Amino acid sequence: MDAIYIRRWREDVSACLTRLLPGFEARFGYPPGRHTIGGPAGEEELASLANVCPPGDLLSWYRQVREVSLPDVGNGVFIHDPGLVARREVTAVRGRCAADVVVFASDGGGTLFAMEAVSGSPVYRLPAGEVVAGVYRSDNQRFALVAEDLAGFLNRQRDAVELFVATGAAVDL
């Protein structure tokens, strides 16, 4: 994942927010929350993240974007800050799928999104479920592979934001 892709993603989502936020309260009946697409993560944050993520797509992402918080898009779209990612409350998935994972995103409904800590890893949806000693049980019917890699996940997120802005319809990844 390169800096040009990340910059374009950021520009596309920011343009959507520019269309969404004016008139938001009149359209949805409540004031919007604080929507942010943060700047690059700091060197200390990147160093702590490097302990759980070898060089690859996640670190490339965090070099450009520290976090994303879009609380009013569908259930919410959140790409966690590096400190939360490095805490690793969920470290593995076992059951229908077995993988060591890094949780990096969530929605406002309790669903987590995780990937293996290597470039090109698929992204998994972890619906609210049992976690024991850092291991998520993947027997839930809603557990699924949602993208082939981080760029695929980000593309789906961008598309979901664009659809929400255009129609008000929430997309469930």
pLDDT tens readout for residues 50-95 = 888 877 899 999 999 999 999 999 889 999 999 999 999 999 999 9
What's the pLDDT at 173? 81
Q: What is the pTM of this model?
A: 0.94
Positive/negative CA dihedral, 34, 153, 166, 40 = positive
What's the pLDDT at 118? 75
Half-sphere exposure in the Cβ direction for 3 (13 Å, CA): 4
**Chain-centre distance of CA 64, in angstroms?**
14
What's the pLDDT at 132? 94
Give the pLDDT mean for 125-142: 92
What's the pLDDT at 144? 94
Helical (H) or strand (E) element with 70: strand 68-70
What's the pLDDT at 153? 96
**pLDDT tier at 171, thresholds 50, 70, 90:** confident
What's the pLDDT at 15? 97
Residue ranges of alpha helices (H) inside the chain are 3-20, 24-28, 43-50, 57-64, 82-87, 150-167
pLDDT tens readout for residues 11-42 = 999 999 999 999 999 999 999 999 999 999 99
pLDDT tens readout for residues 90-123 = 999 999 889 999 999 999 889 999 998 777 899 9
Phi, psi of 68 (to 5 degrees): -130, 130
Task: Evaluate if residue 10 carries a pLDDT over 80.
Answer: yes
Helical (H) or strand (E) element with 113: strand 112-115
Q: Are strands 123-126 and 131-132 parallel, antiparallel or unpaired?
A: unpaired
Give the pLDDT mean for 147-151: 95
